[in-house]
Chains A and B, each alone.
Chain A
Amino acid sequence: MPLIDIKDVSRRFGGLAAVSHVNLSIDQGEIHCLIGPNGAGKSTLFKLIIGVYEPSAGTILFDNADITRERPYARVQRGMSIKMQAPSVFKELPVWQNLDIALQQQRSGDDLVMERQRLLELLDLAVHDDKLAGALAHGQQQWLEIGMALALRPRLLLLDEPTAGMSPEETHRTGELIKSLNRDGMTVIVVEHDMAFIRQIAQRVTVLHLGQIFADGTLEQVVSDPRVEEIYLGKAHHV
């Protein structure tokens, strides 16, 4: 049974169809990657799933419940969580407080403190816990935001370009983290450009182009499609 079921969803901005008649089902426990060239509609589709945008047409089901008109906070309370494309942390607040604001949704007291410490160590931010989030390096802000998303213990984790600004080593660690979360049952949808990273984590890949689904399948199926290479990867890009 799909955890998230996107049915014939479109989103227009004036005359521009950013997302057009997209149908996509993602099963519980899947790591699903969305790829496509800039302007393909990947981030718009993410914002439609989390509720930042309402679809111009179509329906979105989460765990079989119609969430098409629900506000983002209600979707998060249902079990979604997102890391946005640009780092979106509370820059004037310390790192530990950023995590607490997320953690306090489900935890309190010693339980919250222990989970905060676990996340700080997992994210390699323990020595920076008193720093203002805005003073962290770009990659560390990405980690912090991933930590805030994880603090909600989501069933569906949406990661929009999670490794942007990270070193190859940090990128690899992020991939291992995602796989480990997935082994524990978390469904993950990732928008990414880094093909090595996608190769590391993807179980299924959907290619978006001009707001529509262009190809869908395993990574091998997708990259062996010559049309995909043409529109997205380029002849010189080896995948």
Chain B
Amino acid sequence: MLSLVNGPQTSGNGRGFWLAFLAVLTVALIYPVFADSYDVGNFSYFLIWIFMALGLSLIWGYGGMLTFGQTFFFGIAGYGYGVLAIVLGGSTTTIAALILSVLVAVLAAAVLGYFMIWGRISGMFFGIVTLAATLSLAFFLGQTAGPEWHIGEARLNGFNGMKGMDPLTVGDIYIEGTILYYVLIALIVAVYLGLRMLVNSRIGNVIVAIREDPQRAEMLGYDVRKYQLLTFCIGSGLAGLSGALYTSWGQFITPSSIGLPAAAMPIIWVAFSGRSDLTATLVGSFLLLFGFQTITIYSQQAALVLMGALLLGTVMVMPQGFIFGVAQIASRRWRRLAGRDSAGDGPLRDGET
């Protein structure tokens, strides 16, 4: 089983890593027993965004396509969940609303991705087109305040945003508070392990090959466009999952969760964490969200400035990502230490993690 989730595209493949993973997971599982419900709710909020960050890591870090479109798909699924939860009548149908809204985001990614990838848009132009799509959606939703902007009973409400949808519900049980927290933990574990399997599979080999040299990858017989589209759809679908869960969590969504400041956030999380590593993205994004929220209590402006400074500092000092870089240094030191203890000086080979 471990051989499926371990491989050259992920750091942390040894027994020590997986023991640490189990320890962190255990702490996460018992956390609600000791924490108050307000903190558990806050943690749920941080966890919601992790899917979007992991999706960006896949598209940008592994696939080499810098996209500003994560909040575009977040918004599509977020509004999609809101509309469907209202139109379908709420209650248990919210589960269908969640699944359908994520599928709509994947479909939108397939359409946008098809035109970009088959249209040979790459490099910074990929970022520009996805940013344009994101800003267009935010602008469009911002001008839907009039009563004519509705789908069934669901009003879009312009800048004030949608509200009035049910949270995820199964029978009489609302999936919120501690239950939502556990659902999110389960989803994150499943998505994290699933992505590790993907990037360490034969498909993952091709995805990173395309990032390194698309022409060479095509000369080895791979239809580069299909692999890029697959990567884009999965990563964007994960942003959609964040969006639908966000709407369910807060029972509202506004265009400001799609616009430029919001669209820049996942880029900062993933760049700071280490875009080419799923574990660094998971850990770094959670820490940044936690730090951002903590500082926002005192000053939102200060939090935004700090985010910008972190991005600048990361690009200049550790372009491969701060968390990833620190983890690599710590790993090397630990191995050197262990080597001395057990078998004398064991110099590390380059690239070992």
Contacts and interface: CB of A to CB of B under 8 A. Distances in A.
A90 B216 contact: yes
Interface of A: 50, 52, 71-74, 76-77, 81-82, 84, 88-94, 97, 100-102, 104-105, 108, 130-132, 135, 148, 152
Contact of B212 (A81, A92, A100, A130): A92
A108 B351 CA distance: 25
A94 B220 contact: no
A105 B220 contact: yes
B349 interface: yes
Given A92-B212, A97-B8, A152 B220 contact: yes
Interface of B is mostly: helix
B223 A100 contact: no
A187 B220 CA distance: 18
A213 to B, nearest CB: 25
Q: 10 closest pairs, A vs B, by CB?
A: A76-B221, A90-B212, A88-B216, A101-B209, A73-B218, A73-B223, A72-B218, A104-B202, A77-B221, A102-B220
B202 A52 contact: no
Given A88-B215, A101-B205, A105-B220, 9 more contacts: A72-B219, A82-B219, A89-B216, A91-B213, A93-B208, A94-B351, A104-B205, A105-B222, A135-B350
B351 A132 contact: yes
B217 interface: yes
B323 interface: no
Interface in B195-248: 202, 205-206, 208-209, 212-213, 215-224
A157 to B, nearest CB: 12
B212 A73 contact: no
A2 B88 CA distance: 64
Contacts of B216: 84, 88-90
A74 B224 CA distance: 11
B205 A91 contact: no
A88 B219 contact: yes
Contacts of A74: 223
B351 A130 contact: yes
